[in-house]
Amino acid sequence: MNLSDLSINPNTITKEKLKETSFELLTEFILNNNDIETPKICIKKINAAGYYIIKSKIIEINNITTSPVKTPGYKWSFPGYKADMTFMGILCHEFGHHIYYTKKIKSKEYKLYLEKEINVSSYEPNIDEKFAEAFKLFLTNPDLLKKGRPKRYNFITKELGINHFHNISWNNILHFAHPKIHVAAKNWINKNVNISFAIL
- Domain assignment of residue 198, yes or no: no
Per-residue pLDDT band for 193 (boundaries 50, 70, 90) equals low
CB neighbours (10 Å) of residue 16? Answer: 10
Instruction: Using the predicted structure, report yes or no on whether residue 116 has a pLDDT greater than 80.
Output: no
- Domain assignment of residue 24, yes or no: yes
Residue 60 DSSP SS3: strand
Closest to 89 measured CA to CA, from 67, 71, 120, 119: 67
- Domain assignment of residue 130, yes or no: yes
pLDDT confidence of residue 143: 97
Domain that includes residue 8, residue range: 3-191
- Domain assignment of residue 120, yes or no: yes
- Domain assignment of residue 196, yes or no: no
More confident residue, 3 or 189: 189
Query: Which residues pair with residue 61 across a beta bridge?
Result: 43, 50
Q: What is the pLDDT of residues 144-155, one digit of tens each?
A: 999 999 999 999
- Domain assignment of residue 199, yes or no: no
- 32-62 b/e (C-beta count within 10 Å ≥ 16 → b): eeeebeebebeeeeeeebbbbbeeeeebbbb
Per-residue pLDDT band for 182 (boundaries 50, 70, 90) equals very high
- Domain assignment of residue 184, yes or no: yes
- 116, 195 Cβ separation under 8 angstroms: yes
pLDDT confidence of residue 112: 86
pLDDT confidence of residue 197: 39
Q: What is the pLDDT of residues 64-100, one digit of tens each?
A: 888 878 665 556 899 999 999 999 999 999 999 999 9
Q: How far apart are the first and last CA of the chain?
A: 55
- Domain assignment of residue 10, yes or no: yes
Query: Taking all residues of the chain, what is their mean pLDDT, rounded to a whole number?
Result: 90
Instruction: Using the predicted structure, report yes or no on whether residue 27 has a pLDDT greater than 60.
Output: yes
Per-residue pLDDT band for 5 (boundaries 50, 70, 90) equals confident
pLDDT confidence of residue 4: 76
Specify the number of domains making up the chain.
1
- 66, 47 Cβ separation under 8 angstroms: no
